[in-house]
Structures are given as structure tokens and as C-alpha cells.
């Protein structure tokens, strides 16, 4: 099934239909260590995606929340707006979270006004309204104010004025910022805060929004056996909270954040139906490019044979050769000029007639050239068959060392780095020689879309094997550094989804390889007293973080690291053994 052609949607504003909201994560310490978090179960309501979900207290902002600024302790609007990266109105979110917490679960983050120094008072500890010492005030707040506030009849500022109270936010910290996925029926722009549970108060469900309350450890809330319905934001927040040994540790973490990033999941189709995709998932960036407004025209999975229109110039069809080394399968790309309707195929993949027929059928016009990034057997064997089907000439490079390469590869044209292959009006591919993974590896730059087709030079979510003698770690790192000078915005890898922020990805990949090299040096230093050692003695030290089942594959890259260190004068080979130089 062909995916709909992406349309320009640059005018889409993801905040336009989102209601401003705030939520508070209320924590209390366990005697033996760890924390419990207060959660409420929302009422069941038809047509509400959050119906029956277990969530933290919170809700939408009320315009009258701003009237309570003068009653706040610990934060003022300038400090709150700066923390939330807003021009003004940041304090509205904290007030709303405190108000909703009272309305939904009955917890009062309030302090007698006469005990405070002023609205900007800072301090440590949580000297909140104490039902033991202020029982009458506490009872009045619940009896006279909670239900009218729930109905929107009275603002929290009126409660503060009538009972002589301040909203005590001194022990509140800004925790996270989430935006509901585009295209969802109801969308919220929500700021999350974290704080200690007020002492000697008992949470009470309002019976309307909150039908049940639970104090749970993050692990208990996440346990599938408990059967809680958890929204993606709640699940991820609980996962983060599980790493804190105390409520104070969670507050310290929140306060130490120099910037709180926006997290906006996206919606997409998948084999299991519609689902929400988080920003750290591989599909997220591609979904945003194809379907920024959430019309469910993108997919969260890669399926062999599916035709995915990535842009007016680029189409992807994935071969059915999924595996440990190929991920979801090898991507074949069609790159074309919309005006002339001429198309180039990049990496036809294995010699699979069904895949090649699907690739030819996906091309809106004739395939006029076949390009290969390198000649490993998951990328190039289909070139000869596609040539026979289309008559298009094959171009690429032969490897310096044939072992492990496609012996059938016979290009009509040998390519060199720096060449420009014209496809049509304003559409051309620049050839970039990127050896390292393979001596003959090429990347192709579609300058019109700032997209680099990377083959196996840059993988998505994993590192590529460097297998000497054709693979060379020093050459590979140099080729990676060369990518940093390119004006690119997207990577189109041989396996996986489109990758955004390519310079960050390449920089992180270089850093990872150098960190692995440092571990090789450390392993050599650790065994230096016993003299040169076999590679298999170094392997479990260098790749202790890699499952043992992958060590045979990792051994190839270990050799590549050792050979690079030998070239750098830091390691020496003694037959089949290795040691530090000098």
C-alpha cells in the first residue's frame, strides 16, 4: 500500500489547539527508602481518551488563577515565567496545579498569612497548613470552598483572602513539560511540578474527577499485574521517578535542570493499530516530517514491501531481509525529480524478485539509474536483476578486499567522491566517498532536501561493524568527521527510519567510538603485567556492556580498534597477541 504523498505543513502550530494545563507530582518517602507517588483514577466517561486512567492531580488553567499571584510563597511570576520559558504568566501554572490538587484530592498547600514574611518568601521545609493545629481552618476550606471551586464558582484567590492563607510553593520544583500529540481529539500543553506531600494531611477523592486515590511506588504503578491504565506521559514520568531514593532527590533533580525540554509524542499507525510514539523512539522524527499535524498518515513500524513516500522526491521500500545485522530489513530508496519524473534507485538490496518488482512498481516514472552504497550482500545483489528489469545502468565502486562482498557486482560505471549525478531540474545527488565500514562505501547527498543517504556508514540506533581488512577504524572515523562539514538536516540510513539532527548523531557516534577505543587501551593496561594477550582475553573487558551472544561480531570491531591503535603507535601486535607499545 502506497503512503499518501506528504504535503507542506510548515504553517502547522502544534500549540494552537492545546489547552494550557498544570499537574503536580506529590511524593512521600517510605521508611525503608524509595518514594510513593499519589495517583488518582479518573472517572469513566464516554469519548474521553483519559477515561479511567491513573494520573497525577492536575487540570486546565483558569483565567482567575492569576489573581492569586499575590498570595504565593516561594515563586513569583518573573521566576516562574523564566523557568517555564514564558514571557509572563508562568506562576499561573503553579497556582492551577495547587488549586486542582485541592479540588481533586483535597490536599491544601496553604499557610496562614500571618506566619509568612511575604509573597516572595523562600525557605526550606514544608510548614504547610496543619490540620492538627488549624483544624477549624482546614475544615472550613473543605466544607465551604472545595465544591464551589470545583464548579468554578470561586477562585482560589478568594479562598486565600477569606481564610487568611498563602499558597505555599516553596518546596515545589518544575519537573517536565508535555504536549499532547498533534491530531488527538483533546490536546493539553501541560507543565508538571514535583513536591513533598503536605504533612499530616489525608488525601480524599472528590468523587467526580477522582473516583479513587492510590499511594504507590513507581514500580507498583508500572506493574502490569495491577492493570492501571497509564497515559504515555504518566508511564514515562513513573519510570523516571523510579530512579529516586527519596522525594528530596526528585526535587533536587528537578531544580538542577538548567532547561526543561518540551516532550511532544506523535500518533501513528502500527501493526497493532494506532499508537503514541515518544521522541526517543526511532520513528518519531520521520512521523513528524511526514505527518506533522497528526493525520495518521505515517507509520510507527517498518514493514517489508510497504511503499513510504518520504517527500515529493524520495520514496522508501524495505526489503524482506530483517535480521540481527539488518534490523527491519534493507532500505531501497527511489530519488526522483517531480518535474521530469525520472527516478534513481539507491541500494536495490538482495536479489529478491518480489522486492525488486515492488521497487519498480513504486517508482512513479522510469528508473534511469541504479546506485549502490557498498557491496555487502544485503545491499547490492539486486542491482543486476533490477538492471535486467529496467535497463538502467548500475553505478558504484568495487571493494579493495573482496571477502564478504557481493561477487556478482559488476557496475557499468565506477563512481568517485565529488561527482554530481543529475536527475532532473533542481534534483541531483552528490557522491561522497565514505570508506571505513567498507572500502568502497559511498553516501549520496540530495542537496535539494539536505538529505544524506548513508547506507551503513551511519546506522539508526546502533553502531556498524568495522571488519578488517576491508573495514578500517581510522578511515571510518575520518569519514564520519567529514560529514560534520556537510549542510544536511536528515539521514536516510540503509536500515531504519529517517534520522533527524544528523550532526548531533554523527558527533555522538564519533564520541562513542573513541570511548570504546579508550576501553581497549584500559583493557591493554589492565593485562600489561602479563605481557601480550590474545584478543579473546580483551573482548569481555572491552565489550562488557554488550550481550555475550554478540561478542563474535564485536570481535571484528575490536580488531579494527587494535589496528587503529597500532597505527597510532599505542598498541603492538605480537603474532596473534596484543599489548601496549613501549
Q: Give me the tens of pLDDT residue by residue for the chain, a chain 582 residues long.
A: 344 444 445 578 999 999 999 999 999 999 998 999 999 999 887 666 678 899 999 999 999 999 999 999 999 999 999 999 999 999 999 999 999 999 999 999 988 876 554 444 444 444 455 545 566 777 888 889 989 999 999 999 999 999 999 999 999 999 999 999 999 999 999 999 999 999 888 898 888 888 899 999 999 999 999 999 999 999 999 999 999 999 999 999 999 999 999 999 999 999 999 999 999 999 999 999 999 999 999 999 999 999 999 999 999 999 999 998 899 999 999 999 999 999 999 999 999 999 999 999 999 999 999 999 999 999 999 999 999 999 999 999 999 999 999 999 999 999 999 999 999 988 999 999 999 999 999 999 999 999 999 999 999 988 999 999 999 999 999 999 999 999 999 999 999 999 999 999 999 999 999 999 999 999 999 999 989 999 999 999 999 999 999 999 999 999 999 999 999 999 999 999 999 997
Q: Are 106 and 203 in contact (CB under 8 A)?
A: yes
Please list the residue range(s) of the chain that carry CATH number 1.10.10.10.
Answer: 510-580
Query: Count of alpha carbons within 13 Å of 206, Cβ hemisphere only?
Result: 24
Residue 79 to residue 213: CA distance in whole angstroms:
32
* Residue 100: how many other CB atoms lie within 10 Å: 26
CA–CA distances in Å: residue 217 to residues 171, 331, 558 = 21, 43, 42
Residues of the chain with CATH 3.60.15.10: 302-500
Q: Where does residue 238 rank: exposed (0-12), middle (13-18), buried (19+ CB within 10 A)?
A: buried
In the CATH hierarchy, which fold is given to the domain comprising 19-256? Nucleoside Triphosphate Pyrophosphohydrolase (3.90.79)
CATH fold of 302-500: Metallo-beta-lactamase; Chain A (3.60.15)
What residue spans of 184-326 are helical by DSSP H?
218-222, 232-241, 247-256, 284-290
CA distance 49 to 32: 37
Looking at the domain that runs over 510-580, which CATH code has it been given?
A: 1.10.10.10
Cell of 335: 530519488
Give span(s): CATH 3.90.79.10, the chain: 19-256
Residue-wise burial string across 142-178, b where 16 or more C-beta atoms lie within 10 A, e elsewhere: eeebbeebbeeebbbbbbbeebebbbbbbbbbbbbbb
Residue 121 phi/psi, 5-degree rounding, is -60, 130
Amino acid at each position: 500500500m502506497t503512503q499518501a504523498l506528504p504535503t507542506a505543513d510548515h504553517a502547522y502550530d502544534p500549540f494552537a489547539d492545546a489547552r494550557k494545563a498544570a499537574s503536580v507530582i506529590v511524593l512521600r518517602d517510605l521508611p525503608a527508602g524509595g518514594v510513593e507517588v499519589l495517583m488518582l483514577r479518573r472517572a469513566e466517561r464516554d469519548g474521553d481518551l483519559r477515561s479511567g486512567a491513573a494520573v497525577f492531580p492536575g487540570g486546565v488553567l483558569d483565567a482567575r488563577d492569576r489573581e492569586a499571584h499575590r498570595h504565593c510563597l516561594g515563586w513569583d511570576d518573573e521566576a516562574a515565567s523564566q523557568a517555564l520559558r514564558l514571557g509572563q504568566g508562568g506562576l499561573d501554572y503553579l497556582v492551577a496545579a495547587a488549586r486542582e490538587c485541592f479540588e481533586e484530592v483535597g490536599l491544601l498547600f496553604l499557610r496562614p498569612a500571618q506566619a509568612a514574611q511575604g509573597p516572595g518568601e523562600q525557605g526550606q521545609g514544608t510548614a504547610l497548613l496543619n490540620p492538627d493545629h488549624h483544624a477549624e481552618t482546614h475544615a472550613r476550606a473543605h466544607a465551604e470552598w472545595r465544591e464551589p471551586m470545583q464548579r468554578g464558582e470561586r477562585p482560589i484567590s478568594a479562598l486565600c483572602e477569606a481564610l487568611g492563607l498563602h499558597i505555599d510553593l516553596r518546596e515545589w520544583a518544575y519537573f517536565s513539560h508535555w504536549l499532547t500529540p498533534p491530531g488527538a481529539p483533546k490536546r493539553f500543553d501541560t507543565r508538571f511540578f514535583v513536591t513533598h506531600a503536605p504533612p499530616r494531611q489525608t488525601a480524599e477523592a472528590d468523587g467526580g474527577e477522582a473516583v479513587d486515590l492510590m499511594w504507590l511506588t513507581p514500580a507498583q504503578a508500572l506493574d502490569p499485574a495491577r492493570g492501571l491504565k497509564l497515559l504515555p506521559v504518566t508511564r514515562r514520568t513513573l519510570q523516571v521517578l523510579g530512579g529516586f531514593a527519596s522525594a528530596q532527590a526528585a526535587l533536587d533533580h528537578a531544580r538542577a535542570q538548567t532547561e526543561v525540554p518540551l516532550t511532544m509524542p506523535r500518533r501513528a499507525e502500527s501493526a497493532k493499530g494506532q499508537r503514541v510514539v515518544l521522541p526517543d523512539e526511532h520513528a518519531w522524527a520521520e512521523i513528524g516530517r511526514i505527518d506533522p499535524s497528526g493525520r495518521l498518515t505515517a507509520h510507527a513500524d517498518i514493514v517489508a514491501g510497504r511503499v513510504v513516500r518520504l517527500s515529493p522526491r524520495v520514496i522508501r521500500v524495505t526489503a524482506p531481509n530483517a535480521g540481527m545485522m539488518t534490523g527491519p530489513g534493507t532500505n531501497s530508496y527511489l530519488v526522483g525529480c517531480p518535474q521530469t519524473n525520472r527516478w534513481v534507485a539507491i541500494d536495490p538490496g538482495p536479489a529478491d524478485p518480489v522486492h525488486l518488482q515492488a521497487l519498480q512498481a513504486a517508482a512513479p516514472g522510469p528508473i534511469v539509474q541504479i546506485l549502490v552504497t557498498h557491496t555487502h550482500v544485503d545491499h547490492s545483489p539486486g542491482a543486476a536483476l533490477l538492471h535486467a528489469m529496467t535497463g538502467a545502468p548500475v553505478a558504484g565502486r568495487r571493494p579493495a578486499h573482496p571477502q564478504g562482498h557481493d561477487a556478482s557486482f559488476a557496475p557499468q560505471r565506477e563512481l568517485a567522491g565529488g561527482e554530481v549525478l543529475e536527475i532532473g531540474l533542481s534534483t541531483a545527488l552528490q557522491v561522497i566517498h565514505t570508506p571505513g565500514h567498507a572500502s568502497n562505501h559511498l553516501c549520496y547527498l540530495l542537496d535539494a532536501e539536505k538529505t544524506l543517504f548513508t547506507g551503513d556508514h551511519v546506522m539508526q540506533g546502533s553502531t556498524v561493524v568495522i571488519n578488517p581488512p576491508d573495514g578500517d577504524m581510522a578511515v571510518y572515523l575520518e569519514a564520519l568527521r567529514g560529514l560534520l562539514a556537510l549542510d544536511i538536516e536528515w539521514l536516510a540510513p540503509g536500515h531504519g527510519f529517517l534520522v533527524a539532527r544528523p550532526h548531533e548523531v554523527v558527533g555522538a557516534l564519533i564520541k562513542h567510538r573513541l570511548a570504546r577505543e579508550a576501553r581497549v587501551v584500559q583493557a591493554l593496561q589492565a593485562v600489561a603485567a602479563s605481557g601480550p594477550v590474545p584478543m579473546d582475553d580483551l573482548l569481555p573487558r572491552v565489550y562488557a556492556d554488550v550481550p555475550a551472544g554478540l561478542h563474535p561480531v564485536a570481535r571484528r570491531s575490536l580488531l579494527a580498534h587494535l589496528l587503529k591503535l597500532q597505527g597510532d603507535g599505542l598498541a603492538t601486535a605480537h603474532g596473534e597477541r596484543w599489548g601496549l607499545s613501549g
